[in-house]
Amino acid sequence: MNILVTGGAGFIGSNFVRHMLAAHSDYRIINLDKLTYAGNLENLTEIEKDPRYAFEHGDICDRSRVQMCVVRYEIDAIVHFAAESHVDRSIMGAAEFVRTNAVGTQVLLDVAREMKIRRFVQVSTDEVYGSLGTEGAFTETTPLHPNSPYSASKASADMLALAYHHTFGFPVVITRCSNNYGPYQFPEKLIPLMIANALADKPLPVYGDGMNVRDWLHVSDHCRAIDRVLHDGTIGEVYNIGGNNEKPNLEIIRLILRHLNKPESLITFVKDRPGHDRRYAIDATHIRKTLGWTPSYTFERGIAETIDWYVEHAEWWKRIVSGEYMKYYRALYENR
Ligand code: NAD
Ligand code: DAU
């Protein structure tokens, strides 16, 4: 099978490319990525010379570029990760989020439909469901209630994908996963940001009271779930993905500090994120029952391995947290 992966130079995309090459010896993986601030070919150095892998630099909004990839590599299926993915950046400016996440998805869907692609996986997020109170979990039938420009742009993409299925019988499946953690996550996100700051003895900026809850899943378990949905998911269906692993942010931050033997005095409460969703929790019964997927990582093992990975790969994230990234960091956190 020839698979076009969009956004394969990002965090989850690069883990997925590695997973697919390891799991399917006869597959060819083409990675179409614009290499925004979040795209990094260093995430893929281990496999860049693999003859089953090819990189194409390009924008998913560029119709002729997408068309060329599909024709040239005789693509059978598309797994669509490419996105602007950070909520705080979407609050600073929504335009790129609408362009890539909504319009880019529409361009991909159009080309895929024209070229009679056999399967299209729309990689979405639990954030499209909005925020939960203290009880309950999102199921696939929970109404969409996106609260940030990021989640609104992802919900738009999901609605377009489902509309293409309904209107044209287009073979789409949607996955909605909870928060991922693991190697190669861009250090703007909670876990790598806190690890990097703790290692540098810098303050750890906790939004609000630190009691917002996220449902964490190791990225390799997310990749295995997408692989299952790509092969055996029912066309037109949505699959929630999560590992029943809810944690308040402060608990995770304290765990990171303990693991690194750093003092809790580094914790600094800062002004809350505007519109901050209080709690996410995923009910993954559907994918567990119908596709037999279960997570393989416990959080304790996954987080310990992840912290150690960032310690051992300091040169990877140190290159990122210099230069352009510092401008963003100062704009978001200085005087907060
Ligand atoms: P990321 O920000 O690390 O990577 C995004 C990638 O997309 C980068 O390589 C970037 O260069 C590329 N990209 C951005 N705009 C592009 C464009 N116009 N054309 C081509 N490539 C472009 O993101 P991530 O955290 O790996 O998330 C990947 C996907 O998974 C996203 O769709 C996100 O919504 C979804 N998701 C993420 C999480 C999470 O916890 N990180 C959870 C659930 C779902
Ligand atoms: O739920 C899936 C989503 O998870 C994905 O769709 C998004 O792409 C991904 O970025 C992530 O969104 P969150 O907003 O939940 O992740 P983030 O790492 O930005 O924040 C996690 C929690 O930590 C959230 O409650 C905000 C808080 N936080 C975050 C940062 C960056 C802080 O307290 N301080 C910080 O500096």
pLDDT at 335: 83
- What pLDDT, in 10s, does the model give residues 195-223? 999 999 999 999 999 999 999 999 999 99
Average per-residue pLDDT in the chain?
97
* CA 199/CA 196 separation, integer angstroms: 5
When mean pLDDT is compared across 18-32, 145-159, 309-323, the lowest value belongs to: 309-323
Give yes or no for residue 322 having a pLDDT over 90: no
- Exposure string of 17-51, with b = 16+ CB inside 10 Å and e = fewer, is bbbbbeeeeeebbbbbbbebebbbeebbeebeeee
Atom 1, ligand 1: residue with shortest CA distance: 10
- pLDDT-derived band of residue 323, with 50, 70 and 90 as boundaries? confident
pLDDT at 336: 83
Ligand whose nearest atom lies closest to the CA of 181:
1
Give yes or no for residue 235 having a pLDDT over 90: yes
C-alpha 3 to ligand 1 mean position (Å): 17
Domains of the chain are: 2-181+217-241 (3.40.50.720)
Instruction: Determine how many CB atoms are found less than 10 A away from the CB of residue 161.
Output: 25
Atom 29, ligand 1: residue with shortest CA distance: 81
pLDDT at 295: 98
C-alpha 276 to ligand 2 mean position (Å): 9
pLDDT at 324: 85
pTM of the predicted structure, to 2 decimals: 0.98
CA-CA distances (angstroms) from residue 148 to 28, 85, 145, 203? 36, 11, 10, 26
pLDDT at 215: 98
